[in-house]
Amino acid sequence: MSWSSNEVHLASRPTGYPDAGTWSAVTVEVPEPGEGQFVVKVDHISLDPAMRGWLNDVRSYIPPVQIGEAMRAMCTGSVVASRHPDFAVGDAVAGTFGVVEYALSDGTGVTTIDLGVAAAPTWLGALGMTGMTAYFGLHDVGRIKAGETVLVSAAAGAVGSVVAQLAKAEGCRVIGIAGGPDKVAWLKEIGLDEAIDYKSENVLRRLREIAPKGIDVYFDNVGGDILDAALANLRRGARVVICGAVAGYNDETLAPGPKRYMSLLVFRATMTGFVVFDYEDRFPEAVAAISEMIADGRLVARETVIDGGVAAFPDALLGLYAGVNTGKLVLKV
């Protein structure tokens, strides 16, 4: 027996936004698992801003996706056949299976997930790499303390919305930046102290008004002008956490850097990059903490689920960069 898997493979490296030529639709026969292997039927696929970076043939924190390979993606799914001692048929799992319908796995990087704690999309969001990124970026890199003022960009997005709520739970004053009135309204609803609509407001000026003493921690998901506005409004000893720079991911040349970086000197501040995979050993700590917050209502895990199967992946990815989602963007297979 084998499983026909419809998949999206990388056909050519894009310049700028990925387009039709970037991808190829391929059907692959996934064979019976060998000893120590199992087959997963993927049910949800995570869409992540970082995906654009994985398409570039450059040295980075992770090797690029190779041409002819299935697009890399984190997924949830269920085990449909197994010759692996740790994974049984019917187990719900999460792993980097790719934009595929079925995957053969040896268990590397795969974890079992408890759908009683939260539904599969949440295991790609607040309880997945998204939540891990928020948790370790805020606590370990940002070193937030109760009473501090925390600013987060893309605050209605996957990572940002978890960051904002974790910081609130820690006793911080939290300011979110998002695009459009709906997202801003949602940020108020989930308890942020202030929300700035970057599409209709001057972020630099608004920050000066609502945080006249400056920002202690800025969690940056976007780069660009918003990073500069934050740098201009730091407080002495501030920590800027570099999580992403979605504003520039699809640019054909390197986006401009933060022209106000000398604020780091003025404010004796620090700007630090991190990669969530470095904290893998401590993921259980974060999953436990966030699960508890979801259970007692302190954290709202929200996902935008697109129901289109793997064929919808190319458009869904463009939607992510256009900011269609509130919370985590997930593709249902």
- Residues at the contact surface with a second copy, assessed by CB under 8 A: 59-61, 223, 228, 242-245, 254-275, 278
3-state secondary structure of 153: coil
Q: Which is nearer to a second copy, 36 or 256 (CB)?
A: 256
Dihedral Cα 27, 32, 35, 36, nearest 10 deg: 50
Could you tell me which residues come within 8 angstroms of residue 184 by beta carbon, excluding any fewer than 6 positions away?
Answer: 156, 176, 178, 195, 196, 197
Close Cβ partners of 59 (under 8 Å, ≥ 6 residues apart): none
Least separation in angstroms between CB 276 and a second copy:
10
User: C-beta of 260: minimal distance to a second copy in Å?
Assistant: 7
Task: Name which of 36 and 237 has its Cβ closer to a second copy.
Answer: 237
CB of 253 to a second copy, least distance (A): 9
Sequence-ordered list of residues with C-beta below 8 angstroms from that of 157, at least 6 positions apart, any chain: 178, 221, 323, 325, 326, 327
Instruction: Give the residue with the Cβ less far from a second copy, 199 or 259.
Output: 259
Could you tell me the sign of the dihedral formed by the alpha carbons of 194, 197, 202, 204, in that order? Answer: positive
CA angle 96, 98, 104 (to 5 degrees): 80
Q: In angstroms, what is the C-alpha Rg of the chain? A: 20
Nearest distance, CB of residue 78 and a second copy, angstroms: 33
Kindly state the smallest distance separating residue 45's Cβ from a second copy, in Å.
Answer: 24
Nearer to a second copy, 172 or 271 (CB): 271
